[in-house]
Amino acid sequence: MLLSFTHHFFGWLNMKRFYTLVLSLFTVLLLQGCDQVTLQPVSKTGTILAFGDSLTYGVGVEEENSYPAVLANLTNREVINGGISGEVTKDGLARFSEELDEAQPELVILLEGGNDILRSHNLKHTKQNLAQMIQLAQGRGIQVVLIGVPEKKLFSSVAKFYPELAEEYNLVFADNLVSSLLRSPELKSDYIHFNEMGYRKMAHAIYDLLVEHNGIAL
């Protein structure tokens, strides 16, 4: 009888622990869902500004194979290529307001900072420059999607100031998109740029990100 009681007691205890664990996991998932940033869908006549350096410009491929051009086809929206090869964030900040004035975008995809990292600039200043760009856009009611760039190390992950900016400004953020693509030699035209397949994969990943966060209504 004692053995039977002990068996039922520990069975009840394990079942209670199981339900407690399930409830805890459900709560975590619910909180994560609440924290996810949701975009306002870009209207069918709206414009997306892809702003950045050579990875946005599309060094290594023809213009029609750059990620903004591919993204335009995927989204059926106008996507302006605002990339300048070799640009650092200081120069990007200097032209950012004018680009916003000309494009009048509903959403900006911000991919910049790689040249600052490659040239060993003070990354505190890089972060400040990017923060000012984000503030300029958000101050005009323009949504920002941030694309992170890896540190200057072999097989490195995203530089740490990118997730800090994403959290501070509540941005949709692609953390390891660029770094994961750069780890695949078959996707690159040189050490730091993609080939046609690489930019296409990049565009598809950004499209999926926009859809996931409601930026493009299907």
Q: Are strands 172-174 and 78-83 parallel, antiparallel or unpaired?
A: unpaired
According to DSSP, residue 179 is labeled: H
| pLDDT score recorded for residue 157 | 86
* 116 HSE (CA, 13 A, CB side): 25
Strand partners, 81: 50
CB burial string 81-92: b at 16+ within 10 A, e below: bbbbeebbbeeb
The answer to whether residue 214 scores a pLDDT higher than 90 is: yes
Q: Please name the residue that has the structure tokens 């940033």.
A: 37
Per-residue model confidence as pLDDT tens digits over 95-116: 999 999 999 999 999 999 999 9
The answer to whether residue 19 scores a pLDDT higher than 90 is: no
Average pLDDT for residues 38-55, to the nearest whole number? 97
Of 76 and 1, the structure prediction assigns the larger pLDDT to: 76
Average pLDDT for residues 82-91, to the nearest whole number? 98
Stated pTM of the model: 0.84
* CA–CA gap between residue 212 and residue 209 (Å, rounded): 5
According to DSSP, residue 175 is labeled: S
